[in-house]
Chain A
Amino acid sequence: MNDPVYLIACCLLILGAVFVLIGLLGVFRMPDFFTRLHAASIIDSMGTLLIMLGLMLMSGINLITVKLFLILLFILITTPTAAHALAKSALHGKLKPKLGDDKS
């Protein structure tokens, strides 16, 4: 259980989970919807990437790695699209971003 690949994979997994938590912390801390949307994209890009890489390292070269890569590829493509649709819909729904100068 202490061969280096497994340890590296575990570190990647833990780091990925930490990035998911960082993204969620950003979602809680950000003042405005659009900054919250920006913070949430950390989860999809960095968290998913590290966790999937960790799992790929653990599973070696077989069909499971291909499935993991497909999941990673799919998430990396769709979540930015969903975030864009969310921002467009929010702007269309007259949700004004909180700019620096107004003191509201």
Chain B
Amino acid sequence: MVEFTILLILLSMLLALISAAIGETVYDKILAVNIFGTITVLFIAVYGFVTGRPDFLDIALVYALISFVTTIAVLKFFEYGDMGKSSTDREQDIDI
């Protein structure tokens, strides 16, 4: 029964990748990658259960953290054009 769930999750991972490929705007692709991250968390958790390895859940938790931070970082890049000025760039802006 759980193996059937893994099959469904693998199918939805494939669909998420396809939706990333055919996304029109940049934001569709970011959304698809975000979905793929969440589904991978589910896949790791369920796969950890099937193979009887409870330590997979730590990997799933870390992956959820990274997926969230990645989405926010990519969005910040697309919204402001860069990752924010580093301290050295800011000093050059101040022309005394």
Contact = CB atoms under 8 A, between A and B. Distances in A.
Interface of A: 10, 13-14, 16-18, 20-21, 23-24, 27-28, 33, 36-37, 40, 43-44, 47-48, 51-52, 55, 58-59, 63-64, 67-68, 70-71, 74-75, 78-79, 81-82, 85-86, 88-90, 92-93, 95
Contacts of A95: 25, 27
Question: Which label, helix, strand, loop or mixed, suits the secondary structure of the B interface?
Answer: helix
Question: Which label, helix, strand, loop or mixed, suits the secondary structure of the A interface?
Answer: helix
A51 B12 CA distance: 14
A58 to B, nearest CB: 7
Contacts of B65: 74
Interface of B: 1-2, 4-5, 8-9, 11-12, 15-16, 19, 24-28, 30-32, 34-35, 38-39, 41-42, 45-46, 49, 54, 57-58, 60-61, 64-65, 68, 71-72, 75, 78-79
